Amino acid sequence: MGRSLETLIRAATDLHVVGGIARTGRSVQEAQQLGLERVVDVSHAIGVLDYCDVLIDFSSPAFLAELLERYQPSLAGKAVVVGTTGLDDRAQSLLNQTAQTAAVLVASNFSRGVSLLMELAERAARALPPADYDAEIIEAHHRGKVDAPSGTALSLGEAVARGHGRERTEHRVDGRSGRTGERPRGEIGFHSVRGGSVIGEHHVLFLGTRERIELTHIATDRALFADGALAAARWLAPQPPGRYTMADFLGL
């Protein structure tokens, strides 16, 4: 993601990379080879943070927490865009604290299309109740993906559950096999296809007795997420301090 962001920012006329924060050693050298002028390790991050308007983080929950713990005061008045996934309670609480003095937008998926799909899935689930329409989610990813179902599929399931008037996907069923018996109403089925170089596909199905509604998102370029993060950064920069989501950015 760091490389992808750097490439897109280099091609943009309204954005400039002030610098990068990387692990000491190989990553710093690699980043310098990529042409970044200022690359520092976390203990010297102030040398980048002091000069930026927006901090964009795609790293790890532990690194993000360390950065925020050390440098929260320096982020006051700035914008913070976070794409790192799997954030734990510590990282979330530090983000909430940071949001008291900085504009903070956190998203587990920066695709604008996926954000819209979440909204559409929730609305569709509200209009098509589980008594009449069975909701199933199918996702496909490249053979290198190590987790299933995808985080986005799970978020879509939560959106459907919210539309059904439930908070979580407690009726989640991953795949089906053997003598499963009749499908109970209200289940949300998840199915993961893995193979080749598929960047990412998500399908949300509402299966009724006489009709079927399908909502589909297909990613066609890996730069999608960096592109969305930069669009969000442009929107976030002038916003007042607070926690924001992709739905706020997109006006959903």
Ligand X SMILES: NC(=O)c1ccc[n+]([C@@H]2O[C@H](COP(=O)([O-])OP(=O)(O)OC[C@H]3O[C@@H](n4cnc5c(N)ncnc54)[C@H](OP(=O)(O)O)[C@@H]3O)[C@@H](O)[C@H]2O)c1
Q: Report yes or no: 24 and 41 within 8 Å, Cβ to Cβ.
A: yes
Asked if 107 is part of the footprint of ligand X (rule: CB under 6 A), the reply reads: yes
> Quick one: 1 or 207, whose CB is closer to ligand X?
1
The C-alpha atoms of residue 71 and residue 54 are separated, in whole angstroms, by 14
Cβ-based neighbour number of residue 100 at 10 Å: 12
Asked if 97 is part of the footprint of ligand X (rule: CB under 6 A), the reply reads: no
**What single letter denotes the amino acid at residue 201?**
E
Tokens 């927490």 found at: 65
Sign of the dihedral defined by the CA atoms of residues 61, 244, 140, 180, in that order: positive
In the bound complex, what is the minimum distance in angstroms from residue 154's beta carbon to ligand X?
Answer: 13
- The phi, psi pair for 167, rounded to 5°, reads -80, -40
Asked if 150 is part of the footprint of ligand X (rule: CB under 6 A), the reply reads: no
The C-alpha atoms of residue 61 and residue 85 are separated, in whole angstroms, by 7
Asked if 60 is part of the footprint of ligand X (rule: CB under 6 A), the reply reads: yes
User: Using CB under 6 A, which of 10, 16, 23, 183 touches ligand X?
Assistant: 23
Asked if 231 is part of the footprint of ligand X (rule: CB under 6 A), the reply reads: no
Asked if 130 is part of the footprint of ligand X (rule: CB under 6 A), the reply reads: no
Q: Report yes or no: 81 and 56 within 8 Å, Cβ to Cβ.
A: yes
Asked if 2 is part of the footprint of ligand X (rule: CB under 6 A), the reply reads: yes
Q: Which helix (H) or strand (E) holds 116?
A: helix 112-127
Q: Is 195 left (phi over 0), alpha (psi -120 to 50) or beta?
A: left
In the bound complex, what is the minimum distance in angstroms from residue 221's beta carbon to ligand X?
Answer: 13
User: Using CB under 6 A, which of 17, 19, 22, 188 touches ligand X?
Assistant: 22
> Quick one: 6 or 187, whose CB is closer to ligand X?
6
User: Using CB under 6 A, which of 32, 97, 108, 245 touches ligand X?
Assistant: 108
> Quick one: 62 or 127, whose CB is closer to ligand X?
62
Q: Can you give the binding site for ligand X, defined by CB under 6 A?
A: 1-2, 22-23, 27, 42, 58-60, 62-63, 83-85, 107-110, 225
